[in-house]
Amino acid sequence: MKLGVLTDTHNNLTNVREIVSLFCEHGVDHLIHTGDVTQPAVLETLNQVGVPVTGVFGNNDQGELSRLRGCCEELGFAFYQPPHRLTLDRRKVLLAHDPLEVPNRLDGIDLVLYGHTHRLLKERRDGALVFNPGECAGHMKGHNTVGIINLETLDVELLHF
């Protein structure tokens, strides 16, 4: 399973449309958004990828929570307050927005995905892959990134745009 990972879109619809194109081009099977969607229009645009979307809400989503939840319900997306644990393709996954929501010990977790800092991070800790795809709402072409994770191997491919 190819997992498309993005975070902190902050209602930058120009970039979200580019992300949709990238994820469609790379044939992702599932999207994960780790928070700070900020507006339902982002979710409606992500729906164009045509795959399941799971995520957590970020600190900048709290004021729009009612509208975002309504849009998620309408689109069939599964969004939660962080941190949230789930199993995808036999992998134990922890979704967070802020790295402070990630526990110190990651026993039994295969993959940790978070955002908030707008800084790319890919490291191994306690046997888990910890990944933040970094900046994707910036206005500097070529400096934005999203990730694709192969859930079988836990290999990460960074897509710059």
How does pLDDT run along the chain (161 residues), one tens digit per residue? 999 999 999 999 999 999 999 999 999 999 999 999 999 999 999 999 999 999 999 999 999 999 999 999 999 999 999 999 999 999 999 999 999 999 999 999 999 999 999 999 999 999 999 999 999 999 999 999 999 999 999 999 999 99
Cis peptide before 52 (omega within 30 of 0): no
Residue 20's SS3 state is helix
Give the pLDDT of residue 93.
Answer: 98
Geometric angle at alpha carbon 51, from 47 and 52, rounded to 5°: 90
Give the pLDDT of residue 72.
Answer: 98
Domains along the chain with CATH numbers: 2-160 (3.60.21.10)
Contact status, residue 149 vs residue 130, Cβ threshold 8 Å: no
**CA–CA distance, 40 with 133 (Å, rounded to integer):** 21
**CA–CA distance, 132 with 70 (Å, rounded to integer):** 27
